[in-house]
Copies of this chain bind each other. A is one copy, B any other.
Amino acid sequence: MRSGPALDAETILTATEDVLRRHGPAKATVLDVARALGVSHASVYRHFPSKAALREAVTRRWLGRAREDIAAVAADTRQVPPERLRTWLTTLFAAKRKLLSEDPELFATYRVLAAEHSDAAADHVTDLLEQLRVIIADGVTAGDFTCADPAATARTVFDATMAYHHPAHAPEWQAPGTEAALEAVCALLVNGLRFR
């Protein structure tokens, strides 16, 4: 059994990431995590009440790491809103594809949570929708976009680009032409938003 500094949640999450990378989401257990840390599984349960809670927390932290680049685009008011919207959607796609290629096992965990409408996946979507809403609202203020309800329109733009961020479409993301297809969807959506 492990001695030394007290076990904290971050240490458990890092160990869980490693276990998920090694065993995959279907096979990884809390006991594997405890073993990797040299502690009892009760010590892990003290921080995370269930395997599901642990899996949620790992995915939440992992998705959070990709957040910075995407949020930076949403906040970059040097780009005019139509251009910022395009850059945001292509940055989101690039970030999702990078998560997939660099960490396929953790991506698989995220895909399971998205299919189960877990809190971690739902909060991730809520965060993205709010970024999108800000860009669209800025576009309305600047006179670039016409729309009555930026929050509702953010949802519509998000739905119309599902193929480029929903994990169920991940198997298609490496296909040639996917970036060009997203560019074409972005151009059509931006034209739709400009329409009056």
Q: Does A171 contact B (CB under 8 A)?
A: yes
**A167-196: which have CB < 8 Å to B?**
168-169, 171, 181, 184-185, 187-195
Q: Does A50 contact B (CB under 8 A)?
A: no
Chain B residues with CB below 8 A from A7, complex form: none
Q: Does A42 contact B (CB under 8 A)?
A: no
Residue of B nearest to A171 (CB): B115
Q: Does A72 contact B (CB under 8 A)?
A: no
Report the separation of the CA atoms of residues A191 and B148 in the bound assembly, to the nearest whole angstrom.
14
Q: Does A161 contact B (CB under 8 A)?
A: yes
Chain B residues with CB below 8 A from A191, complex form: 191-193, 195
With A168-B169, A171-B115 given, is the CB distance from A188 to B155 under 8 Å? no
Report the separation of the CA atoms of residues A191 and B181 in the bound assembly, to the nearest whole angstrom.
19
Chain B residues with CB below 8 A from A169, complex form: 162, 166, 168
